[in-house]
Structures are given as structure tokens and as C-alpha cells.
Amino acid sequence: MVNYVDLTVFLAIGVLLPLVMMGVGAFLRPQRPEKVKLEPYECGEIPIGDARIRYHIRYYIFALIFVVFDLETVFLYPWAVMWKTLGLFGFVEMLIFLGILVIGLIYAWKKRVLEWI
């Protein structure tokens, strides 16, 4: 039962602390809305048209592929630091991991996903 009490306390803190902080921020910040402040920021350019437009699906696929290969570096760094202690098993496991990623890269290349529109 003690574990559930700890869990409940952490959940309560995790929910209440952000709500309290947002409430304090809303209470303390100045409330002076102006037309310029309410416009969406677009690099100093005057916005033209609706901000909600349709994007081509390739932009999202390109972003997902970037995330996948970005995560590759997250997994490669600890392996590179510890590779002497991992031995041959760790080396083979990393080769399998990199092989799967290379297969994915070849697949994306053949599907012409990496070409920017």
C-alpha cells in the first residue's frame, strides 16, 4: 500500500505543480493585448492568407526519417563509449542495428522519400 501512496503523491505533484505555475504566470504577467501582439509571428513578414494550409505528406515523412537517424546517434554514442567492455557480442549487435538502419535508408531512397519537393 505504501507504493501506491508514493505513486499518488508523485502524480498529484506532477499534475498540480504545472497548473499552479501556469496560474501564477497568468496572474503576474501584464495583460495588454494589441493587434500586433495577437498576430502570428512569421519572421517579420506580414501574414497573408490563412495559417492553416495543407502540407505535402513528404514533409512529415522526411521529418520522421530525420528523427529515426537522429535516434541512431543516441544509440551509437553509448555504444562507442563502452564498446571495449561489450566485446564481440556488442560489436555484432551494433552491426545488426546499423544493418537494419541501412536497409531502411535504402528503402527510403528507392521510394524517393529523401527528395525534397
Condensed to tens digits (0 to 9), the pLDDT of residues 64-91 reads 888 888 888 888 888 888 888 888 988 8
Stronger pLDDT, 14 or 41, i.e. the higher one: 14
What is the residue extent of each domain of the chain?
2-110
Please state the three-class secondary structure of 37-101 as a single string. HHCCCCCCCCCCCCCCCCCCHHHHHHHHHHHHHHHHHHHHHHHHHHHHHHHHHHHHHHHHHHHHH
Contact by Cβ (8 Å): 87, 33: no
pLDDT at 83: 81
pLDDT at 19: 96
The class of domain 2-110 in CATH terms is: mainly alpha
Indicate if the pLDDT at residue 51 is higher than 90: no
Stronger pLDDT, 85 or 117, i.e. the higher one: 85
